[in-house]
Amino acid sequence: MEKSDTTRPTMTTESGNAIPNNQNSLTAGPRGPMLMQDYALIEKMAHFNRERVPERVVHAKGYGAHGTFTITQDISKFTRAKLFSKVGNSCPMFARFSTVGGESGSADIARDPRGFSLKFYTEEGNWDLVGNNTPIFFIRDPLKFSDFIRTQKRDPGTHLKPHWRRWDYWSLSPEAIHQVMILYSDRGTPYSARFMHGYGSHTFSFWNNAGERTWVKFHLISQQGIKNASDAEATRLMGENPDSSTKDLHDAIAAGDFPKWTMKVQLMPERDAETYKWNPFDLTKVWPHDDYPLHDVGVMELNRNVENYFAEVEQAAFEPSNVVPGIGFSPDKVLQNRILSYGDAHRYRMGVNYQQVPINQPKAPVATYNRDGLLRVDGNGGGGVDYEPNSFNGPKEDPSVAEPPIRIDGNADRYTTYPGDDNDLYGQPRALWEKALDDQGRTNLVENIVGSMSNPTMGIADPRPIQERMLKHWHKVHPDLGGRIAKGLGLDQRRQAAE
């Protein structure tokens, strides 16, 4: 909005010194050279040169919005979290949605899982649910994470993204196949965040005041329904508007059409985990709804656009380690690793005091003995005592928020990701093919896979060894799926089936 000259603030340096002229630099004579004493010019250029923080290694392209989360059903018998203590409780929250593999300027609509990161500013501190729009993931051992991610990024030699890299890796990592099927189904190109579900993906835990633990999976079900771009529409949108999903969410909120998601949970009694037919902590598997039905918990509404992208979205730091009393982790190996790696990544990107950036600040009081570090801006504890225990009234522990003990069994060893059980690898992918997809969904899945596994997309002189290795997996998921992909690739179906 335009302001009159009398109400416009005076332009200053970062130190508040008024700037007399922002059009002409200080020179010796009209033709130069420049004078080094032009501190306003030097600060302006130096600041510009340092504007970027490193982009996220994964989930670099994203957008976000503020909202509220309101409890609609009483689940207080499972968790002591105050947020869930009664129907009607609510808290402010922030959401960021992203693709995984692309750089910060890449297209929103790319075929990729979507990050679905939520920060709930509760009265007991921040609770972050850092999930995806898929209930599962490609790996179940975090040792494989960086290898997998490299297959989604650029070739180190050519800086291109040929698809042979991903299919080579997946054909040698069959635990990925369940997620690969979701990725190449219609849900691999969601139209925007408004039209996709979100999942905590990992198994987490609830614990109550009686010390009872319940394993839990979180689902955020879109009240707008599911809407996906076809492969052709996605290709068109990438050129027409690479920021199509960013714009969709922004415009909806600006128009007062606030998107909502219903939070639901699946609940598993602690002891069930020992006998359940699947490993409930395996990130490549869902808990089938028939075994563990969904229960409503609350509603999340996004109702306020960000005012400054860098301050609120680029600096947003989500981390699965942010939990409140009554919500805990599980033995899921990938979750265990993410508890470490998210804070580690934020410390690298933004420095050790990243939690003091306003978008990351809890609304609950912070009372820590951590001190100093790059860009500390919270008063640094003032003159208060900086060690613990102390007899000077410093913050004290609260034993009442200790999580109940968890029984862990087993010898320390490196346990195989491939126990050699076909049902373990292909059972749930088969259920996706047979049960979750309709005829059109199956046809689209086959076409999308064939498009990606064929040249020129594969981008390798002889794709056949990789294609044939991958076909063996598709046949094991379902002969119909394997047969249709083999046909689409022009490979000998009978020979493949016989192998």
Give residues in contact with ligand NDP (CB under 6 A): 135, 182, 185-187, 226, 286-290, 428, 431-432, 435-437, 441
347: closest CA among 308, 321, 309? 321
Shortest Cβ 265–ligand NDP spacing (Å): 11
- Separation of alpha carbons 67 and 92, rounded Å: 6
In the structure encoding, which two tokens stand for residue 96, read together? 């960021």
49-68 burial, b for 16+ CB within 10 Å, e for fewer? Answer: eeeeeeebebbbbbbbbbbb
| Residue (288 or 394) nearer to ligand NDP, CB | 288
- Separation of alpha carbons 440 and 113, rounded Å: 21
Contact 359, 315 (CB under 8 A): yes
Task: List the catalytic residue out of 126, 132, 228, 444.
Answer: 132
| Residue (21 or 230) nearer to ligand NDP, CB | 230
| Residue (78 or 287) nearer to ligand NDP, CB | 287
* CA 382 to chain CA centroid, nearest Å: 36
Active site residue 455: no
Active site residue 59: yes
Sign of the Cα pseudo-torsion (224, 230, 232, 234, in order) = positive
Shortest Cβ 75–ligand NDP spacing (Å): 18
Maximal CA-CA distance, the chain: 85
- Separation of alpha carbons 57 and 335, rounded Å: 18
Shortest Cβ 444–ligand NDP spacing (Å): 9
Shortest Cβ 292–ligand NDP spacing (Å): 8
Cα torsion through 305, 137, 340, 147, rounded to 10:
-110
Give me the amino acid identity at 400.
S
In the structure encoding, which two tokens stand for residue 318, read together? 């989500």
Shortest Cβ 489–ligand NDP spacing (Å): 21
| Residue (182 or 229) nearer to ligand NDP, CB | 182
| Residue (99 or 428) nearer to ligand NDP, CB | 428
Contact 280, 291 (CB under 8 A): no
Q: Annotated active-site positions, please?
A: 59, 132
